[in-house]
Amino acid sequence: METVQFFSKIAIWLAMLGWVAAIIVPGKKWLWTGALVAFGVHVVTAFHGFYGWEIETALEETAEQTEAVTGWRSGMGLWVNFAFLGILAVDLVLRYARKGGPGRIWERLIAGLVIFMIVNGAVIFASGPVRWFGIVLLAGLAVGWGRAKFRRV
């Protein structure tokens, strides 16, 4: 594995850890910021290291991975990742622009989107130890979220 590919994988795990921490401990903009920066690094390094800056290659490899897991051949997951990056960028701007932060509904929608992406990227489309790390990460999220809700009661 090339160095840039290694950094791509480290960056996505840092992003996921940041998002999980941000969901468990709401109101910490720096966690959202760090996670978004790490995800941006992941996107750039993945495009460089895995796809050689070729959108066609990225779409084809995404379609192959999707077909292997779901039986449906589609590169749409790549566009979902780009949309995810855009939505989280808008979310971060809103977090800094609005005095009280995003509203409760928006906060839950973003948390749901993040969880959806983690489930897909770290569990469904992962294998071996990576899948187990993803499951542990989601279990940690569930426990942390539950404890945070319990403390507020």
For residue range 115-142, list pLDDT tens digits in order: 999 999 999 999 999 999 999 999 999 9
Report the C-alpha gap between 24 and 108 in whole angstroms. Answer: 12
User: Any idea where the domains of the chain sit in the sequence?
Assistant: 3-152
**pLDDT tens by residue, 47-85:** 999 999 999 999 999 999 999 999 999 999 999 999 999
Under a CB-based contact definition with an 8 Å cutoff, are residues 59 and 80 in contact? Answer: no
pLDDT attached to residue 27: 84
Neighbours of 35 (CB within 10 A): 23
Question: Measured between alpha carbons, how far is residue 14 from residues 7, 17, 39, 69, 106 in Å?
Answer: 10, 5, 8, 25, 23
Structure tokens at 45: 């390094």
Distance CA 21, CA 23 (A): 5
